[in-house]
Structure 1
Amino acid sequence: MPEYKAPIEDIQFLLHKWLKVSDHYKKYGYDEAADPELIDAIITEGAKFSEEVLLPINQKGDEQGCQFDNGTVTTPEGFKEAYQQYCANGWPSVSSDPQYGGQGLPYSISVVLAEMISSANMAWGMYPGLSQGVIEALHAHGSDEQKEKYLPALISGEWTGTMCLTEPHCGSDLGILKTKAEPNDDGSYNITGTKIFISAGEHDMTNNIVHLTLARLPDAPEGTKGISLFIVPKFTLTDDGQPGERNPVTCGSIEHKMGIKASATAVLNFDSAKGYLIGEANQGLRYMFTMMNAARLATGQQGQALNSVSYQNALAYAKDRLQMRALSGPKAPEKSADPIIVHPDVRRMLLTQKAFAEGNRALAYYVATLVDTELRAEGERKEKAHKELSFLTPICKSFMTEAGHETTNIGMQILGGHGYIGEWGLEQFARDVRITQIYEGTNGIQALDLLGRKILMDKFKTLRRIQKKIKYFCKDASSDKALKPFASDLKKLLSKWFMLTLTVARKAGKNREEVGAAAHDYLMYSGYIYLGFIWLQLAYTARKDSDNKELAESKLATCRFYFERILPRVKMHAANIKSGADNLMDIPDNQF
């Protein structure tokens, strides 16, 4: 069975030394959370729950999967009990509004917990994970009555929630969805249609499930402008707010998947199910983006979390597994062979895992503090946080999941044949992480969003602001002799990044296909540069503010590896972008 130990030392370094979250929380009125001892206590208890409760049922859950019988879904052995303990410990309510039973702690604390949960048991984490997005969407757009009815039970974990967008004929193209909403005299609506790929759409862990569902009113405009958002509970509520009659929204089947087999991915059939309109008619897609953006950040973090646990297990194996001798001579002469960690190629793979695991963890935590700021700040500071968050969301979702796919496969490779068989658990990480590149908007969609909407439509304004911040930090980092070469390299890349963006914009002015042709490579190019900025900050902080010499040396060494071995990948992506759309679009369909 694979092992998992929450990387508490690195988490504490990021929160206390790098992000200085106590000061951050005080600035935005999270006075209770500003206590470092409270933060550390939450981390420690979250680690204990993840390691002792969730990890032991992860592999078993993968083997058993969910069972479907005539519309009923049974989760794997131990899942329901773990969820009950999760709720009893108060974990679902950590960052929610105290007015509805939440603890009112910062979003960035919940992100730390989410990483540990996904590392220990990603499939289990899907059940409470979607509820957080439902809570945020209802809190932002629901009526006071809807909030009073649904938020307390969702926040306590008594109920869970889902996001019902995808239909059999439409995936990311929601403009062609067909689910109908017919108005009733009492102000409710009858929802009719079929939704697919609904994570946690049916299960046995709670006594109600709240489905946030996109549908069309009879007089709705065509396309995305005619979509409304509805609350469709599994059980309609009685006058005292308790689950009452069974609503005709039923599970037709669950999917048999490559990974996250213990997460029930449902086909839901709505047969004149009672639904309740959220906010204004035809504004559903805008409302749903509140939930989708939260889900995209969470998805990126799933990629990082499985990267992290795969690295832990690959590292332990590499230190223990004996195979051949080092090329420069025996390193463990008392043993029959050397541990494989002495071999350069194994070290290359391990350092790639480490660089992405620690760098993307830092990126996820930083972005989480932007969410804190957006929620609590006002005026210009709020707007700047919103713009930067919007810019970084598609990068987090795509770049971090691409890295998760790469590094979990590296973990398998380090274990060789043992990595390919189920006993060691490395192949499960690779299977589980694969969905993260697909759901919550495919990585191709995220790339189009970054380049088309967040760069070109924004007329480079947010890009310039971010580049300016990076440039200023490079000046500070240059004061450290060990970091000066990396700061210089990063600074040079900033001008290349801008010129490359300008090149794409000019080409797109003549041919819109150039945006789609460049999008994937542009997102990866941007992600590598931004992660270089993150690594430069981590090394700088560790050397300047940390009293842990070993940690400071480790951050510097990993930063060096990133700049010398990984960051050069941008050259390939730049070449792909410059090659243009013709080599993709000129070939006739019949020649594929």
Structure 2
Amino acid sequence: KMLAGEWQGTMALTEPQAGSSLADITTLAEPTDQGYYKIRGQKIFISAGDHDGVDNVVHLMLAKIKGAPAGVRGISLFVVPQKRVENGGLAFNDVNTAGIYHKMGYRGSPITQLSMGENNGCRGWLVGEPHKGLSYMFQMMNEARIDIGSGASAIASAAYYASLEYAQQRPQGRKVTSKDPTQPQIPIIQHADIRRMLLFQRAVVEGSLALVLQCSKYSDMERTLSGEEKEKATLLLDLLTPVAKTYPSEMGILSISAGMQCLGGYGYCDEFPLELYYRDARIHPIHEGTTGIQGITLLGRNVTMKNGAAFKLFLTEVQAAIKQAEEFAELKPCAQDLKEGVDRLTKVTLHLIGVAQSKGPEIFLADATLYLEFFGIISIAWQWLLQAVTAQKALNQGLSGSEADFYHGKIHTFRYFFKYELPKIEGLAKRLTDADGLTVDMKESFFAD
């Protein structure tokens, strides 16, 4: 039924009092002697939690078995269908839609509030072992986070191509070197500032997509390889998942905003799709783990796990790309820039680990989001360097015409990223190595405006 598209699944985690803090969920599962559990509680922000496009919605739901340990150690995973199979048909399973959220974007997918067990008739079936639900759920969650990065890249890509088409067709003004008002207006793509915004979009979109595909490659390797190679792929995938989710999500919004700017007033109007893309994209840094949570995951767990094994593997991957690029005179300066950036990332990481030991976890993680931003820029620079190596190899074969233009476009976008985006790590490094606890020391009472 699921594979045929007749039924659909959801992930039901969030509750009114428990968003990112899943330790605080209160949905209760009471065992029975009939092989199922009675479920009672509420869930919110459940994507596609109820609609008439399918015959049944099956929820993978986090709940705590009665008497379970407190916190995340007591969380179990259950299959809770909206309708349960009974007597050869479907019977209502006491899963009620208590509300529909009115959203800024993604309006094609209803986001619901669910109430289970109002009439003591909601049945759920345990998945796996009791109290291991969070680890099971995060197997899906991490895949979903890569999917979010992919979706964010896709929407930003659509916005880029829409703004590119507009810029090629919209006549406005003349070159700054032209003083003759009788000359015809030029397409706005001939203005340097428009090209800058288009280059920014392309750098974000194609860099993001490359990182998502890199993570997908590691996922394939994890599933098909064995032994040490499998472990390496797993470590790299775990390390980069927060980055592959966050960079396309956060930077995709800025990319679409640049696309709207290319259209001027029309970008703000619904005659063109940019405003829709912007509204739809805004959810990506929020759902499936907010940017703040991704930063804490990256710095607080992934970078330090197994004595930094994943981080060291990442450095090895980037250094291998740098070595490839150094073989080409045209790429060597940018390869050196990334080498310096990697050195800076390493120093910042070691500094922050020292902060954790000397000043404790609160100050250590206070700027985890900035660390994630830093890591993201380095990761996308790595991906652009790999693309540049391929493009330069192709150009060295003496290509011409549209094929040469394609690869020259890649090289120009690569250079844009290294000249405009990579330097941003300098400010981030300065902030991250000055662990003065400013945000920690800002008392709530100081916000009394």
Provide the TM-score with structure 2 as the length reference: 0.94
Question: Measured at CA, do residues 486 and 330 of structure 1 come closer, stay the same or move farther in structure 2, by a change above 3 Å?
Answer: farther
Hey, what does 1:587 align to over in structure 2?
A: 442
Question: Measured at CA, do residues 581 and 213 of structure 1 come closer, stay the same or move farther in structure 2, by a change above 3 Å?
Answer: farther
Root-mean-square deviation over aligned CA pairs = 1.6
2:285 to 437, 440, 446: 437
Report which of the two has the higher share of helix: 1
Which secondary structure state, in structure 1, belongs to the residue aligned with residue 388 of structure 2? helix
Q: Greater CA deviation, 569-578 or 525-534?
A: 569-578
**1:185-204 alignment, distance < 5 Å:** 185-204=33-52
Which secondary structure state, in structure 1, belongs to the residue aligned with residue 58 of structure 2? strand
Hey, what does 1:572 align to over in structure 2?
A: 427
1:332/1:338 contact within 8 Å kept: no
Hey, what does 1:280 align to over in structure 2?
A: 129
Q: What's the offset of the Cα at 1:473?
A: 2.2
Q: What's the offset of the Cα at 1:191?
A: 0.6
Distance in 1, matches of 2:238 and 2:356, equals: 22
Distance in 2, matches of 1:553 and 1:257, equals: 41
Question: Measured at CA, do residues 491 and 327 of structure 1 come closer, stay the same or move farther in structure 2, by a change above 3 Å?
Answer: same
Hey, what does 2:95 align to over in structure 1?
A: 249
Q: What's the offset of the Cα at 1:429?
A: 0.7
Hey, what does 2:407 align to over in structure 1?
A: 552
2:239/2:310 contact within 8 Å kept: yes
Distance in 2, matches of 1:330 and 1:235, equals: 72
Q: What's the offset of the Cα at 1:229?
A: 0.4
1:521 aligns with 2:370: yes
Q: Deviations over 1:151-201 (max 9, x none)?
A: xx2222221100000001110101010000011111101110000000000
Question: Measured at CA, do residues 376 and 417 of structure 1 come closer, stay the same or move farther in structure 2, by a change above 3 Å?
Answer: same
Q: Which runs of 5+ in 2 are unaligned?
A: none
Which secondary structure state, in structure 2, belongs to the residue aligned with residue 525 of structure 1? helix
Equivalent residues, number: 437
Q: What's the offset of the Cα at 1:328?
A: 2.5
Q: Deviations over 1:48-80 (max 9, x none)?
A: xxxxxxxxxxxxxxxxxxxxxxxxxxxxxxxxx
**1:90-169 alignment, distance < 5 Å:** 153-169=1-17
- Work out the percentage of aligned pairs sharing the same amino acid: 39
Q: What residue identity is the alignment partner of 2:192?
A: P
Q: What residue identity is the alignment partner of 1:452?
A: G
Distance in 2, matches of 1:360 and 1:330, equals: 41
1:480 to 305, 312, 328: 328
1:260 aligns with 2:109: no
Hey, what does 1:318 align to over in structure 2?
A: 167
1:304/1:403 contact within 8 Å kept: no
Question: Measured at CA, do residues 239 and 544 of structure 1 come closer, stay the same or move farther in structure 2, by a change above 3 Å?
Answer: farther
Distance in 1, matches of 2:367 and 2:305, equals: 15
Q: What residue identity is the alignment partner of 2:288?
A: E
2:394/2:407 contact within 8 Å kept: no
**1:12-51 alignment, distance < 5 Å:** none
Q: Deviations over 1:240-276 (max 9, x none)?
A: 6xx5111100111110011111210000110141110
2:29/2:40 contact within 8 Å kept: yes
Question: Measured at CA, do residues 330 and 562 of structure 1 come closer, stay the same or move farther in structure 2, by a change above 3 Å?
Answer: farther
Q: Deviations over 1:193-240 (max 9, x none)?
A: 000000000011111111000111112000000011000111111466
Q: What residue identity is the alignment partner of 1:414?
A: C
Q: Which runs of 5+ in 1 are unaligned?
A: 1-152
Distance in 1, matches of 2:101 and 2:130, equals: 32
Q: What's the offset of the Cα at 1:332?
A: 12
Question: Measured at CA, do residues 332 and 563 of structure 1 come closer, stay the same or move farther in structure 2, by a change above 3 Å?
Answer: farther
1:504/1:514 contact within 8 Å kept: no
Question: Measured at CA, do residues 269 and 543 of structure 1 come closer, stay the same or move farther in structure 2, by a change above 3 Å?
Answer: same
Distance in 2, matches of 1:565 and 1:165, equals: 40
Hey, what does 1:533 align to over in structure 2?
A: 382
Distance in 1, matches of 2:366 and 2:2, equals: 42
Q: What residue identity is the alignment partner of 2:300?
A: G
Question: Measured at CA, do residues 239 and 538 of structure 1 come closer, stay the same or move farther in structure 2, by a change above 3 Å?
Answer: farther
Q: What's the offset of the Cα at 1:562?
A: 0.7
Which secondary structure state, in structure 2, belongs to the residue aligned with residue 216 of structure 1? strand
1:184 to 11, 32, 56: 32
1:164/1:195 contact within 8 Å kept: yes
Distance in 2, matches of 1:456 and 1:518, equals: 16
Q: What residue identity is the alignment partner of 2:267?
A: G
2:275 to 419, 422, 427: 427
Q: What's the offset of the Cα at 1:581?
A: 4.2
Distance in 1, matches of 2:247 and 2:181, equals: 39
Q: What residue identity is the alignment partner of 2:280?
A: D
Distance in 1, matches of 2:294 and 2:218, equals: 19
Q: What's the offset of the Cα at 1:583?
A: 1.7
Hey, what does 1:304 align to over in structure 2?
A: 153
**1:398-477 alignment, distance < 5 Å:** 398-477=246-325
Hey, what does 1:15 align to over in structure 2?
A: none
1:270 aligns with 2:116: yes
1:247/1:274 contact within 8 Å kept: yes
Q: Greater CA deviation, 313-322 or 189-198?
A: 313-322
1:375 aligns with 2:223: yes
Distance in 1, matches of 2:416 and 2:248, equals: 18
